[in-house]
Amino acid sequence: MSVRSAGLRQPTVSQLRAFLAVAEHLHFREAAAAIGMSQPALSGAVAALEDILDVTLVERTTRRVLLTPAGERLAGRARAVLDAVGDLMEEAEAARAPFTGSLRLGVIPTCAPYLLPGVLRLVREEYPALDLAVTEEQTAPLLDGLLSGRLDVLLLAVPLGVPGLTELPLFDEDICVVTPRDHPLAGRTDIPRDALRDLDLILLDHGHCLRDQALDICRHAGR
């Protein structure tokens, strides 16, 4: 391996862009105009690239410009490098911009039917560059997904009290008792907790946070 190929000197993006412009236009003046460089600067960039690579890329005559066989092969490599640099810049720009890229949202079944339509509509209309993936599960598997990195953010009932997680309350919601129309508690908005002691209750299945919240209220009521 020669000293030059050992990485002491590396081509610059400007040199690769200049060479690729010449390869595409086969004319120094047109190539310089295409990339906004002066013709002497473009010629110098191509010459410097040839010096770094220790390969003749371009044959210059008084009438025309031709690529050497090595120049033909390396033009494709130069295009791939510049495309990769372009992809890198686009990815960096996307990373700087808010609400872009992918977001994996987990939501509990008791919230999903009511909140997701508004969330999905907002994302579609206001943040079209955001790739939103939604997972509907109960609280425990959602937390496992967040802690393992499978999910990015959760929409569920708080407080959780899990160390290391940040909770941002979005709204408060009343706990309501649903009764028949002729029930003594029907229509009341000031139901005391001790009124729950003698009621037959219908609860959600194990794993639902609303079940846990209802049972917590019952415990406070002395049931």
Q: Write a three-state SS string for 74-129.
A: HHHHHHHHHHHHHHHHHHHHHHHCCCCEEEEEEECCCCHHHHHHHHHHHHHHHCCC
Q: What is the reported pLDDT for 79?
A: 93
Judge if 66 and 89 occupy the same domain: yes
Answer whether residue 160 is part of any domain.
no
Assess contact for 58 and 21: CB atoms under 8 A: no
* CB 171, CB 177: distance < 8 Å: no
Sequence-distant (6+) residues with CB within 8 A of 56 are 50, 68, 70, 71
152 to 105, 142, 145, 166: CA distances (angstroms): 6, 10, 8, 12
pLDDT of residue 6: 45
Do the domain assignments include residue 72? yes
Q: Are residues 84 and 70 in the same domain?
A: yes
Amino acid at 185: L
Whether 35 and 89 map to the same domain: the answer is yes
- Are residues 43 and 111 part of one domain? no
Residue ranges in the chain whose pLDDT is less than 50: 1-6
Which tens digit of pLDDT belongs to each residue from 77-135?
A: 999 999 999 989 887 877 776 777 788 999 998 888 989 999 999 999 988 888 999 99
Number of domains into which the chain is organized:
3
- Judge whether 168 lies within some domain: no
Structural domain contains residue 108: yes
pLDDT of residue 47: 93
- Same domain for 59 and 82? yes
Domain ranges, residue 128: 101-155
Residue 3 is predicted with a pLDDT of 43
Alpha carbon of residue 15 to chain centroid: 33
Determine, yes or no, domain membership for 165. Answer: no
Q: Which of 95, 120, 146 is the last residue of a domain?
A: 95
Q: Give the residues across from 130 on adjacent strands.
A: 101
Q: Residue 107: which CATH number? A: 3.40.190.10
Q: Are the C-beta atoms of residues 112 and 136 closer than 8 Å to each other?
A: yes
